[in-house]
Structure 1
């Protein structure tokens, strides 16, 4: 069992701190994902996220422990959003194709070029900032985000314990955030 699943079990037993921890741990990812599905309304996405967390609190005793908590929450968010959108569509039978298409707009070729250029610039900038980190933090970041290793595996590669591996990645990310701001 990983710590996320342990947090889930504590939440299922009614631990409000664990519930808050799950919310804080997954809010940003859910928000980003929700906006990628429907970029029209941030309020709608936040309402759906809160609906998901309200629903899992109510049903916590009947839920199983998911293998991947983030995957479970993202899937629940998507289901909730699609459900509300389909209800809204049924309530407003006059929902036009144009209005529906505006929910998921197709970017123009120019928009795609601009996005690609911005992405390339961000990638270069982050690469340069990573090069400024101490060697061990650089290695920890690459193992975590390029090689997709978990903290236990990173610790093994760097000959440190799991917590030290987490600390290395956390400190590196904190430095990068500070430099980016």
Structure 2
């Protein structure tokens, strides 16, 4: 099967039972799903991977009843989020606990000297932005990630976050505005 097929063409082939199309969809989206899942539940890689595999198992068994989504990535990310939330509500929480070092890695507190050095070096700007993003409220972090990492439009972000389109735009705008102020 040609790896240059569009997402919709692959989805249609997958719905018809073509395992190769299913494999290509998996390979195209596993990294984005993993990144997004770890942003929602950063303490358990195994839990996130299990949820991703649950999503792909479920869509395989329900493939004949599925419609072709406008945006396959959006559909898969939404399915992953729903799966994670469903399991967390059932108290099937990730079992891995955080050590103090892991906790510090998740919420680093850079020293004034580190911040000064990072501002001076354009090569370190990306690292600085990542550190600052961690300081944003979770919803703003998620909105930024969906907009700039997953390249979803505001309508899709609104759907993922269960808010209206204007609220999705406001979340992204406020996050970018805070980052801009912190960087200047």
Q: Classify the TM-score, shorter chain.
A: 0.5 to 0.7
Aligned with residue 82 of structure 2, among 66, 79, 92: 79
Q: Does 1:10 align with 2:41?
A: no
Unaligned runs of 5+ in 2: 94-102, 127-147, 152-184
What's the CA shift for 1:123?
A: 5.6
C-alpha spacing 1:28/1:120, structure 2 compared with 1 (3 Å): farther
What's the CA shift for 1:106?
A: 7.7
C-alpha spacing 1:108/1:55, structure 2 compared with 1 (3 Å): same
- Residue 38 of structure 1 corresponds to 41
Unaligned runs of 5+ in 1: 91-102, 125-144, 149-181
- Residue 107 of structure 2 corresponds to 107
- Residue 121 of structure 1 corresponds to 123
What's the CA shift for 1:76?
A: 0.2
Q: Does 1:22 align with 2:25?
A: yes
How many residues align? The count is: 111
- 1:8-44 deviations in whole A, cap 9, x for unaligned? 0000000000000000000000000000001010000
The alignment's C-alpha RMSD in Å is: 3.5
Is the helix fraction higher in 1 or 2? 1
- Residue 169 of structure 1 corresponds to none
What's the CA shift for 1:107?
A: 3.0
The structure whose Rg is larger is: 1
C-alpha spacing 1:7/1:108, structure 2 compared with 1 (3 Å): same
- 1:39-64 deviations in whole A, cap 9, x for unaligned? 01000000000000000001000000
Output the TM-score relative to the length of structure 1. Answer: 0.52
